[in-house]
Amino acid sequence: MSSSQFSLRIDGMHCGSCVRRVTQALSTVDGLQVDEVRIGAARLQSTLPEPPVTAAIASLAKIGFTAHQDE
């Protein structure tokens, strides 16, 4: 099964605590594997036919961060 990678730009992150909260939120999204989270961005992977980009963005919105897919 192939996996697809995508990145998110995340606004409002300032510190290690933000990185931890974002990592935890993204880890709850079905079909998503968190490769890396750093201040302002996340690199993710999915084995689903359609990567759960919208679900990932929604999980971050729930904890107060605005995100969009990095082209």
Residue 21 lies in a domain: yes
* Res 41: pLDDT: 98
Give the position of tokens 């961060």: 65
What does the chain come to in residues? 71
Residue 20 lies in a domain: yes
Residues 6/48, Cβ–Cβ less than 8 Å: no
The stretch 3-11 carries a mean pLDDT of 94
**CATH code of residue 48:** 3.30.70.100
Which residue, 21, 17, 6, is CA-closest to 52? 6
Within a domain: 27: yes
Please tell me the predicted confidence (pLDDT) of residue 3: 79
Question: Is residue 69 domain-resident?
Answer: no
pLDDT at 1 over 60: no
- Answer whether residue 43 is part of any domain: yes
**Is 12 inside any structural domain?**
yes
pLDDT given for residue 38 in this prediction: 97
The residue segments making up the domain with residue 14 are 4-64
pLDDT tens sequence across 9-58: 999 999 999 999 999 999 999 999 999 999 999 999 998 999 999 999 99
**Residues in a beta bridge with 42:** 8, 37
Total domain count, the chain: 1
Specify if 70 maps to a domain.
Answer: no
